[in-house]
Structure 1
Amino acid sequence: MSESVNLPALGESVTEGTVTRWLKNVGDHVEVDEPLLEVSTDKVDTEIPSPIAGVIEAILVAEDATVEVGTALVTIGDGSGGGQPADAPAAEAPAPEAPAAEAPAAAEAPAAEAPAPEAPAAEAPAAEAPAPEQPAAPAEQPTAEAPAPEQHAEAAPGAEVPSTDAPAPAEEAPTAPTPPAPAAAVDPAPATAPATEAAPQPDAPVAEALAPAEEAPAVEAPAAGQATPVSEAPAAPAAPAVADSSNAGYVTPLVRKLAHEKGIDLSSLTGSGVGGRIRKQDVLTAGTPSDTETVEAPASAAPAAVETSPLRGTSVPMSRLRKVIAERAVISMQTSAQLTSVVEVDVTLVANFRTKVKDDFLAKTGQKLSFLPFFALAAAEALKAYPIVNATIDGDTIVYPAQENISIAVDTERGLLTPVIRDASSLDLAGLAAQIADLAARTRDNKLKPDELAGGTFTLTNTGSRGALFDTPIVFLPQSAILGTGIVTKKPVVITNDGLDSIAIRSTVYLALSYDHRIVDGADAARFLVAVKNRLEGGDFTGNLGI
């Protein structure tokens, strides 16, 4: 019996799927849970396994077709139906056909001769079974076989003798491989009709024996040497060639439409789906690679532009600023109990939002919108919820400031300086971006006022701007914590949609929080980091843009 395999439910909100590739062909045997095909939806790319074991009898849905959940995809049976049994006699038929090419009259002449040898004609099918043994055929009727070739040679051009019409196509097939072969396959049917009238009983089995022999070349032509160049030979390699090319560049209609709407060149994308196929998420995050490349440019360009420093092999005294930094770092490490917690954050939505608004942001504010204002905003909001991370120690007292004054680490030729953004939690993205750009520029130009370097309650350091994945920054007293942001990179990540797991290319970043364990516990640090993570992964910054 045969059973249909339907497109299963792929999630609560998924109503249809597109068949992207068939992994099995008609006639293949499959086991339970063996993948049959690949299906793509707007949320996930997945393989559909076989719920039963058996032989594939029919494929009901073509590749690239979009069907609803519950639609029959394929018919699987026990091998007793469909195209499988037809192959069996076809496989046996070419065996006698091969010797028939060498001695066409030997096997068929007895069946087409006068009624006298009707008894052997009726036994012809039995003689055809051992036909591959060439000596057996001439051993039975050597006298009848000798004239048969001559009769065929004479009858083939004349085509006047009705009894020799049936053998004639056998000789015409090898001599004319293209048009005559199908013509000969059609002619024997009426030619055998008068033969059946003359001798109904013997001719019936002969016609039955010839019918599969005539059908066999149509099905098994590639196996036989005669018809191989005519039909099946080019068709067989053509099928896998088309399948390979379609799989390599397959894009679902939904993805193609989305890419067209966003103006994205699909050939420039690297797919994250099965076999490298481009998925919806790849198109949505297509704007991030340029951002990542921009961030990574200094790191990737550095090896090509490495120059030997003039300081090599010299000794120079520490600058006053370097001495201060060194002393503060040592005192901080000796006085406080520091450790670091790290989380990985998916900032794909932030990257998409940034790509969408950065041109307008630049036009209206005159500032480039980097990732740092997003990190600063998320950190400021989390500090309001978990003020212990923003607190300071005064002897035996914990002081909770009324504001979130975030110090921004700035790399200068003189050393690391940390100008302060006052009341950072009251600012939006435009305000934070303006403050960061202004403080960084004036810090590098040595134009800061003394009070702009004091009063910070929490520090944000962006080591990712130089290509670092993450680090374990040092907390500088009297602060109790510092957040390090690594480079934003694209990587394959396992995501879950409606309970189904899939691999997608996502923009991610590592956030490392170093803290003073004297007042900040690991649980406090984790709660703070998760709050920042959730804020960034939510990606809802439309109301905080400030333009």
Structure 2
Amino acid sequence: MTTDVIMPKLGESITEGTILEWKKNIGDSIQRDETILEISTDKVDSEVPSPASGILLEILYKTNETVPVGEIIARITDSNDEKLPKVENNQTISDKKSNIDETISLEESFDEKKCETDNYDFDNKRRFFSPLVKSIAKKEGVSQAELSDIKGSGHNSRVNKNDILSYIKQKKQLNSESFNDFDIDNDTNVNNQIPSYNQEVSNSSNEIEPMSHIRKMIAKHMIESRDTSVHVYSSNEVDMTSIVNFRNNNKKSYDLKYDTSLTFTPFISRAVIKAINEYPLINCSIVEENINHNKNINMGIAVALPDNNLIVPVIKNSEELNFLGLTRSTNDLANRARLGSLNPDEAKGSSFTITNPGIFGSLFGMGIINQPNVAILSVGSIHKRPVVKETDFGDVIVARSMMYLTLAYDHRIIDGAYGTKFLRKIKELLEKFSFDEIEL
């Protein structure tokens, strides 16, 4: 008896996953609920448990392949299954794997012959195309002939999502070139028209390291944001002395009473929520040429991970939470993000984002907007420094706990006056924070 291992649906919005690493090889024994592979969905990496005990018979997709949710990615067989190749006592492990590979090849050959009766997902070259690939091809106007000519990098040279998206991107780039840019009379190769940027690499001194999947996703999102939003920045300094004093005086008792840490983040989040209620355009998103007015404030909190990557877990409907709720949600999401145990849906759907380079000692930061948001708030470190204060007896120099806030906003829909007023409102709310709403 064989059991299928399928690409799991780890969240409502998840449609596919990328295989990061197979924890088991073909022929390895495995226990039910033991980790069989690691996958990545957008920014979240997850472990996939085995659905049954037995021996891994087939691996249908390789590392770094992107697979639609619900697709069979491997098969597990009972140890007594007749399909499992027998290993003689004098056989080596290498011989064992060779026998298994031969068995798998025979099964694949049988499956392909069986499928020839159904031409829906095959072309005239007998190449298989998944429903996802065919859907993308139809949407982007890729003909069956073009699809047949795409070189696949997937299992059995199948065309996967990355292959067709790469083809579509290259096709659009070529179509955007002027007709006169090509010397047709000289039969110039189109590929020669695409500039190639080769960097000389010294074999003796440089080490080339491939990007991890999550780093590729971060890089992709950053480039998309830079090319999408018109970033404008405004900064302001905030006197955090009253909040610092309150936290210092109550942190220990608050931690003991509620079993959660009292950090500065919920103070800032609370002020942002109140400011958004007064300046709701900050909480919008742009959909094509329309402005989407989000009903809820889904607060993204950027979290630095132990592997030097970044993730943005989201507090959904943050405006409905009191101060304690914000504190617990922030700490819970941040802790689980660092442990790699977030649900993929918990890192999606933000309408505004807060990032805090200040925890690493930075005075201020200039954030990249988390798409499809139209603004992101960067929080600097809190430092004591001399500040001039006006009194009834004249100006005096006093030591105050000061912090810089920097707002990045999308100039397509938010002008400087609106963005600056929003930032000033946050400053006012923090400097005159209402401590009465915090139960001690």
Query: With structure 2 as the length reference, what TM-score do the two structures score?
Result: 0.52
In structure 1, C-alpha distance between the alignment counterparts of 2:439 and 2:346, rounded to whole Å: 24
Map residues 176-195 of structure 1 onto 2, 5 A cutoff. none
Instruction: Give 1:413 shift.
Output: 3.2
Corresponding residue number in structure 2 for 1:114: none
Corresponding residue number in structure 2 for 1:335: 228
Instruction: Give 1:367 shift.
Output: 1.7
Q: Does 1:384 align with 2:277?
A: yes
Corresponding residue number in structure 1 for 2:109: none
In structure 2, C-alpha distance between the alignment counterparts of 1:438 and 1:313, rounded to whole Å: 40
Opposite residue 252 of structure 2, the aligned amino acid is: D
Corresponding residue number in structure 2 for 1:409: 302
Map residues 116-265 of structure 1 onto 2, 5 A cutoff. none
What do the CA deviations read for 1:270-300 (whole angstroms, capped 9, x no partner)? xxxxxxxxxxxxxxxxxxxxxxxxxxxxxxx
Instruction: Give 1:429 shift.
Output: 2.5
CA contact (8 A) 1:494 1:502 kept: yes
> Please, which of 340, 348, 356 is the counterpart of residue 462 of structure 1?
356
Instruction: Give 1:394 shift.
Output: 0.9
Corresponding residue number in structure 1 for 2:381: 487
Corresponding residue number in structure 1 for 2:414: 520
What do the CA deviations read for 1:38-97 (whole angstroms, capped 9, x no partner)? xxxxxxxxxxxxxxxxxxxxxxxxxxxxxxxxxxxxxxxxxxxxxxxxxxxxxxxxxxxx
Q: Does 1:476 align with 2:370?
A: yes
Corresponding residue number in structure 1 for 2:402: 508
What do the CA deviations read for 1:325-369 (whole angstroms, capped 9, x no partner)? 111111111121101110000011111111222122111111221
Corresponding residue number in structure 1 for 2:213: 320
> Please, which of 335, 340, 352 is the counterpart of residue 446 of structure 1?
340
Instruction: Give 1:525 shift.
Output: 0.9
| Partner SS for 1:357 | helix
Q: Does 1:496 align with 2:390?
A: yes
Give the number of equivalent residue pairs.
235
In structure 2, C-alpha distance between the alignment counterparts of 1:431 and 1:498, rounded to whole Å: 41
Instruction: Give 1:500 shift.
Output: 2.1
Structure 2 segments unaligned to the other structure (5+ residues): 1-204
Opposite residue 348 of structure 1, the aligned amino acid is: T
Instruction: Give 1:546 shift.
Output: 3.9
Opposite residue 319 of structure 1, the aligned amino acid is: S
Q: Give percent identity, aligned residues only.
A: 39
Opposite residue 468 of structure 1, the aligned amino acid is: S
Opposite residue 304 of structure 2, the aligned amino acid is: D
Structure 1 stretch displaced more, 465-474 or 431-440:
431-440
Corresponding residue number in structure 1 for 2:244: 351
Opposite residue 373 of structure 1, the aligned amino acid is: P
In structure 1, C-alpha distance between the alignment counterparts of 2:228 and 2:344, rounded to whole Å: 25
| Partner SS for 2:368 | coil
In structure 2, C-alpha distance between the alignment counterparts of 1:531 and 1:488, rounded to whole Å: 19
Structure 1 segments unaligned to the other structure (5+ residues): 1-311
> Please, which of 408, 426, 432 is the counterpart of residue 320 of structure 2?
426
| Partner SS for 1:472 | coil
Opposite residue 327 of structure 1, the aligned amino acid is: K
What do the CA deviations read for 1:292-330 (whole angstroms, capped 9, x no partner)? xxxxxxxxxxxxxxxxxxxx9532111111111111111
Higher share in helix: 1
Instruction: Give 1:484 shift.
Output: 0.5
Which 4+ runs in 1 deviate beyond 3 A? Answer: none
Instruction: Give 1:475 shift.
Output: 0.4
CA contact (8 A) 1:494 1:501 kept: yes
In structure 2, C-alpha distance between the alignment counterparts of 1:540 and 1:469, rounded to whole Å: 25
| Partner SS for 1:509 | strand
| Partner SS for 2:335 | helix
Higher share in strand: 2
| Partner SS for 1:470 | coil
Structure 2 CA distance for partners of 1:324 and 1:364, relative to 1, 3 Å: same
CA contact (8 A) 1:384 1:404 kept: no
Could you say what the CA RMSD is over the residues aligned between the two structures, in angstroms?
A: 1.4
> Please, which of 276, 279, 286 is the counterpart of residue 393 of structure 1?
286
Higher radius of gyration, 1 or 2: 1
In structure 1, C-alpha distance between the alignment counterparts of 2:255 and 2:275, rounded to whole Å: 27
Instruction: Give 1:425 shift.
Output: 2.1
